[in-house]
Structure 1
């Protein structure tokens, strides 16, 4: 039996903690909590011992609506376990809402969990009955992905569903947005604190005696109405003859008050019970048999029964009172006292006794936890070695990583799978530092695993991830490893094969093998669609969009992105749509469709925030580029610096943007300082890798741009000659266009800003490619230095109207949106100080064709009023009185082709 993935769900986590017999009703808080049915989210946030769980238990007991309760703990940080319990708990209310979620969760090894959660949301919405979900002790959930899932649920929660969160610490969610949108009800510590009236009622009920108003005020002030402190005080007061003296001596912040009271309670407890409390405090949850194993007693059932009767901060986790936990604060203080009063060996012994019992009872995760705390690294390592593979394939890498980090290094040499687990986690997370160990060592490590079905499965996955990691760095080695993996992957494993062909696409693309890259992409897409799992291919499609744009195939780039997006049937939260929306934003940005690019980018980043790291990386690069396009150079630089902190990666696309941002912001010295780094990459590096062709071209273009500013014109010319050889041969039109434009700029600056025929020849080559493929932004990003070069095009009779019209579009887009800081200046185009916008050029062409305003509106999908507004702007800029004059002037200035 799978001791991790198939461990039965703990039903005790679904039980609402029963109310104490002496609990004090909180009518004012119940009224506030009743309002939760008017809000998607209710947040009960206060310190430990504030009565959050008791209040919720009281409210649930009085409620008539279906309520789901889940008591969370640190194990629920795993997103799949969290969702498993959420589905199971809701299934207890209505099994129709949840249909076999476990199979979907297990099958989602490489995918986002958003689609599974979206299905649950749709099912709840379709059910129409009101449903409230209580998540108690949410502060134990620290995993970013699990938090993101709950935010996703809140953002898309149906009207008939309500979420109540109980926590010690505010989650890092967009709470301000929820407040503004009236989507959040809050119950805070100050709400939960007992008023003096409640303190009076509380002590009267607990002690069966009335305190004086002075005593009530004193104890209320000193405990600050803190519920746990009041309970602890009441326990101590039971044996106090002089309450006034006790209260007068009862001082300090509630933390010290709690410590004092625990000592008072423990000191008045017999040593046998003290020993029981201290040793069992190491357990997060326990039953009598586990307590007996840890303490070494035979009467734990009676002890727990007695503690429960005494209300000694023992919280039952089920109706049968079989499983318990201590009040969190009480447990923390007991553990602190245990570590202070017991020897190290006693503490270690208690953890090991707990671990042995937990392992024997198939609670492997808790067993590993206690073996590690008990310094029994040998047994912990053996369990990690045995069950780590299941953790890898259930995507519980975070928990596995914490285990591996806790083990001494000695065990990694004796249990080689541990090292492979660690390598695979680094590959999956993209954190592998190749400078610390050679590639040969990593590959040798994977292949050194002794033959077995489990090891073979681990080896296949490790090889695929290693090859994908190397795709952008050492393409030859990546292809070699991918070929090895291909030989051992089962024909039935469509998803892993899709990953493999994605590797082939990325590697062949990086060496400029267009045909083989295209074939590999199509096969990866086919296998991904066959498996119904599009998360990975979405990232590859985003990369392909960038590649296709380099080849001038912007329409094809859009097609593949839209194909993936449409697979989501228009769902706004369709996970694979995120990277593809970012890909579409890149295409629109290339065409200078700024508003549309911004819309796609915003939607794409919202989706990718839920876990698509590659999408966030590329999307942030596009966001920086968008700022530059809008002329916000300082904002672009600021965003880039933040981006560099968040993404500790070295990729050629990142270097391209860095050089562009620094030059456009006027940070020339910082740009100059990049030259040695880039030259080192091109000449060899500490990674001992051979850069692929595409990366080499990009790095050389970066050098050329910097060296133009440094006036190193001959070096620039040599670099451009080298790049042109490969880009012309392989048909990378976008890069060829860049080369020609940079060559023109280099000659222009070398000649002292004098325009010569070689300059015009280079510029025309760039414009011909750009006009044919639809490029705008790639040329405009060169800055205001190209303005006089474009102006010169209008003076040439041998230049076609089509190219002149394209040059006009570039000038209109140029504006103040791009360029080196020192080079921004005004250059009129044939006397036009204010240029026609791209839309005005479209309207001008239709005016010249003789179309009516109504026909123009229909062609451009705008209103007639907007057409008239554009026409008025055109007349003003051309200094024309009417349509006829505007067309004549436009032809004279080369804005329209001659008749």
Structure 2
């Protein structure tokens, strides 16, 4: 049973100050989807939103959250209840959907609510008050998904003491968010006068009101404290209040607060004032007591300038104005104690892993020798965690002699420059550091042993620099040296080293060795807590597995690494950590499985990297994968442009790519064949010589593409000669993907030579291997002749889902091939809009997507998976689709859609 009082919007006090300037900002408009009202306790957040709702024409559904709502099922149960209490129709069906749902996936419930809101068509606002009680990451992710798909006319207003971990940066770029922050919530001088006069009933002069406004900086809680504690001193002509300076203001507030507190609370406030953030363990250390958690919760209950930073009452901070005043008082009364407490605080932060907080305090105090020691100890770990740019800034802030006299700090700076891609400035710094190390060893410097320990790091950084110059022998020698000395180094280097070694083996075509060391790279990336290295290593490992033909194994590799990263490094407020290798592999896997929606979902973030600019190796991979997906979907012009760009970048920037780029020329030749330009395809392949290719996967792709061109030029004998050796070598190496393709092309050559029995035998071998390996799309990507042979193949007409799906795909490809190339729509904008005059009511974008997936022969549950929605939602879309088309079943829908030119 739901507590209905949680759905009641707080009534507005007639004496409360009206905030018209803020109510206007909360009103709906443009593309806005979210009002974000964030401020500490006592800023009047709930009062503001309640006032706005009372005067707004929107239907408002109000939900006051508490600590018991930090559970996804309970949270959405109350959201549904809020809408039902506010009068949204059809809510029993949504509640029924929630009761039927098992497990943690509540997408069907959210989908049902979104569909209900869309059908209602009204203007709604959902207010989630006290959202800071929500700490469950699943709720944040679910709410983010819900907001992404809000129908027009629906607005969400979040009221919270802390900014929630949602993808706010992305939403702000899209102009979906209206931010009401403490600076806006702070009362203006006029509102301050009105507050004292109307709300607090104090007859205060304008001069006094102005002085108090400046003192409190518009913080209504502080103003209220002044009004409650001031008695008669605030009324009349209190000229002293108007004339006090900043220090007197701080003394005034502290006196009013501290004098009213028991001594144990007053002492606690002063002892912990130096803490940028507070937690019980830190406060206990500073005080030498064990009751800090109890006191923190007591201060929180009193709203005593304490702001919680989480929903578990573990971390807090003081209001900045209040904290500064406390620190000023402590330094004035007992400077030695203030210094001691500050140093204890920084030491505790360092010992408990809050290195960045500690460094911020050290920088503020400009204690440069201490900063140098901290960066020497923690700098490399910060860099490998992604904070290379702040580390470089901190090193720049240090006096030059502290860096120049420290080999460790110089090495930290070199790593920072490397991760910042400032490679050109590294070499002279390496030379200078090596000279310094040699001198220290020769002079028996006290730190000579530490200097020797840096040689492994120098070898590792030089191995990466050697890769950019294609100096393979130097790379191998240096990497071997690192592996021999790695257990004696001061920082964890194994994951980075093994990843680099994996790149080396991959570039030389030693795929088995590459897989072995990349597994080690993933393992050590997790042990050393380096998510980026684990993702990249796992992504390259999966890329090799997929291109070799182990699609299921590749997907399993990606899934396991992704799960580990999301478990340990998931932050919904930040962009999701991705890897070019892994997202590219997943795009290829889902393209091959004929799941285009999932393929595009993994490609999309990579395209953002291409737009903003990325290193050349990643640029080539992304454009290759992009071109392959466009080729599979029949967008040949887009595919050709992407692959030409990949090929050109790979040639121009070859010296800057530390691995052999994918075989863009081989895939480009296939696009040219599909367009009907075999001579140009042959010329494209002639530009690449086999001896330039060290990776066997790339060599095989080129050889197969050459055979396709031979078939297109009516040279089947030449095609068979090219593939005879490859068939045996690919089989021995277990390169099943290329073996299936070779068998298909050989079947075409045999058919051209009028040897149908042999052709059928090759096709049957290819089908058997493709079925076992889970291949699908590659069968439909071959030439029209091969597709025709496959459609007539008895083995493919046997019962079975895989056979049925492949046949549907082949027929769809044939239909698409008959369409003029210029009519193939671009993927960027999604399905083409349906002319309104063609139907009584135009199809929505989602209905067009469903129609396209029906056309591909997908069952309802497969459509649901492709669209990432519940099967019930798919059924609703199909029902609406049938109604608009005036049909009763799938075959009629497809026929009607073709007649209208929708397919």
- Normalising by the smaller structure, the TM-score range is 0.3 to 0.5
